[in-house]
Amino acid sequence: MANTSVNGWRLILFILFSIFPIACFSNCGADLVVFVSKNGKWNQIDGDSLLRSGDRLRIELETTNACYRAFFWKDARNQVFNLTPKSITPGNSNKIVPNNLYTLPGSGQVYILDHSTGSEILVMAASDAPIANLNALGRLISRHEFATSSGMIRINRYDLRWVVLRHRGS
């Protein structure tokens, strides 16, 4: 009887993971949306979008759950920058509220692409536990190969969601 019950639960879990593979990650849902300014208008762009030096970007993070988060930019020179907005890190806690929209860099400012061409990779890290070691997370991102134009992967206890922008010069 007990075995039947356990097998039943295994079957349900198997079906759930087959239908909703994202459930294998933590419950840290969020959208990472990138906008580029063209001729004075802001246009949403996808992974693999082509960008030029001097392009002006802003990023929106829309959350669906309360989780601990950090946001990184791995540039074309393989340098990693922690760009987590201060509004996400009150009192060094990276937990953000659900259903909220965070704009980066914020305060009406924009990111402007420099002259280094290559892949600009935006990485949002999320965890249901506090991100205590940002140094290790930054090093993990710096050495990780983000092979596809966008995606999500779980490494250690972090869900990493990324978008790759192709920077093709001026």
The residues near 94 (Cβ < 8 Å, ≥ 6 apart) are 68, 69, 70, 84, 88, 130, 131
Q: Which residues face 61 on adjacent strands?
A: 32, 102
What's the min distance (Å) between Cβ of 94 and another protein? Answer: 11
Name the one range near another protein by CB under 8 A: 20-28, 40-48, 73-81, 157-165: 73-81
- Among 4, 41, 77, 99, indicate the residue that binds another protein (CB under 8 A): 77
Draw the binding track, 114-153, toward another protein (x: CB under 8 A; -: no contact): --x-----------------xxxxxx-xxx----------
What is the rounded distance in angstroms from the CA atom of residue 89 to the CA atom of residue 133?
14
Strand 30-38 and strand 80-82: the pairing is unpaired
Question: To the nearest whole angstrom, how small is the minimum distance from the Cβ of residue 100 to another protein?
Answer: 22
Helix (H, G, I), strand (E, B) or coil at 68: strand
Which of 81, 109, 129, 157 forms a contact with another protein (CB under 8 A)?
81
Burial class for 34, CB neighbours closer than 10 Å (0-12, 13-18, 19+): buried
Tokens for 150, please give them: 């966008």
Number of residues that bind another protein (CB under 8 A): 18
Measured from the CB atom, the residue of 49 and 89 that comes closer to another protein is 89
Binding site for another protein (CB under 8 A): 70, 72, 77-82, 116, 134-139, 141-143
